[in-house]
Amino acid sequence: MRVFGIICEYNPFHRGHKWQIDELRRLAGEEECAVVCAMSGDFVQRGDFAIERAHARAEAAVRGGADLVLELPLPWAISSAEGFARGGVSILAATGVVDTLAFGSECGNAAKLQRAAKALLRADFPDALREELAKGLSFAAARESAARALIGEDAAVLREPNDILGVEYCKALLQSGSTIAPLAILRKVVGHNGGAAKGFASASHIRELLTNGEDASAYLTAESAAIYARECAAGRAPVTMQNAERAVLSRLRAMCEEDFARYDSGNEGLYRRFYDAARTAASVDELLSAVKTKRYAYARLRRMLLAAYLDVTAADVPPEVPYLRVLACNERGRKLLKTIKKTGSAPVLTKSADVRALSEEAQKLFALTACAADQYVLAYPELRAARGSSAWTEGPVIV
């Protein structure tokens, strides 16, 4: 059986995501296939709260065609594109069953993405990148310029968001020595930050509609729309950082300059700007605007802010994801889990009791994720729904 892997956020699960899963089944033809997803939990890579909780999004994914959804733990979920990709690849490789990593791409050419990935892994690339950064370029522009000097026009794949992620997936596969093959699927829908077109819309556009209380059902699958409506009725959606803004600012104002330094992964002095801004800013947006410079994208700053709020440091990131936590599955996914438990390289978590058998490092990681989940629920629209300890009490959704 062919097993496709997808690294995703599904924030929320929409028609474009279903199209991708359906396309994988079409490519498999008559051969039996399964789809395994490594999905972010309650927080996402742009440095934000997911619009609905992880189990709801995982359920929507399975009802939309996926077979098994595993959680990408917090430190990787809110990391850079490189860390996000590394965590996702680690999960898929640890299953021992995934043979193909599929992802959307603006160029749709895995060979081009692999060439760019190899360029970024060259021993002389870091020096070339530093030279470009010294010219005052943003990180993204400096990276493309440095890569262009090595591989010419193929470096153009470092301009588009999904191609950039694709390059990082290829890098992670190369670095890990994985036998998983990359499969770039040409995107036929709107761009990363685009509006709506032909019944499809970007996740950011859909989130904007949902956050404003507008109807986005035309862009969601019927199952995803029903699940979102259920979450809203229960007071659990939409979730936004603004709902927890006072808590975020309170945490940041209580921190000293040395505290912020723990979350400045690049050691580039950002922590001083955060410390100064946190003293006076009356909103998260105001704080980020005060910290912003030409060199840093807002997503980078939001990730650092979220890491500080949730107390996630580089020390919390093991070399590999140490467990496979199941969020949702169907019957095919359950059969796949039986194989994974026998041949996979990481233990499978389906209930809280499984945590006790983990290594000390893995238990610490799960506790960190559980604590973050308790912070996440405090951003629910209705406080009555914000019960804690969900990570310890909520099992997988079986569809």
Quote the CA–CA distance of 102 and 123 in Å, as a whole number.
28
Tell me: pLDDT of 104 over 60: yes
HSE toward the beta carbon, residue 174, CA cutoff 13 A:
18
Q: Which 8-state DSSP code applies to residue 30?
A: T
Contact 26, 122 (CB under 8 A): no
User: In the chain, pLDDT over 70 holds for what percent of residues?
Assistant: 97
Mean pLDDT value across residues 245-268? 91
Q: Where in the chain is the domain with CATH 3.40.50.620?
A: 2-106+160-233
Tell me: pLDDT of 275 over 60: yes
Instruction: Please tell me the total number of residues recorded for the chain in this structure.
Output: 399
- pLDDT at 12 (0 to 100): 99
User: In the chain, pLDDT over 90 holds for what percent of residues?
Assistant: 91
Q: Which residues are within 8 A (CB) of 394 and not within 5 positions of it... i.e. 6 or more apart?
A: 55
Quote the CA–CA distance of 206 and 5 in Å, as a whole number.
24
Quote the CA–CA distance of 283 and 281 in Å, as a whole number.
6
pTM: 0.95
- 28-62 pLDDT, tens digit each: 998 899 999 999 999 999 999 999 999 999 999 99
CATH topology of domain 2-106+160-233: Rossmann fold (3.40.50)
pLDDT band at 139 (very low <50, low <70, confident <90, very high): confident
* Alpha carbon separation from 52 to 107, 237, 245, 374 (Å, rounded): 30, 6, 17, 14
* H helix or E strand, kind and range, residue 34: strand 33-40
- pLDDT at 189 (0 to 100): 54
Q: Higher model confidence: residue 92 or residue 200?
A: 92
pLDDT band at 327 (very low <50, low <70, confident <90, very high): very high
- pLDDT at 379 (0 to 100): 98
Q: Higher model confidence: residue 73 or residue 196?
A: 73
Tell me: pLDDT of 273 over 80: yes
Quote the CA–CA distance of 335 and 120 in Å, as a whole number.
38
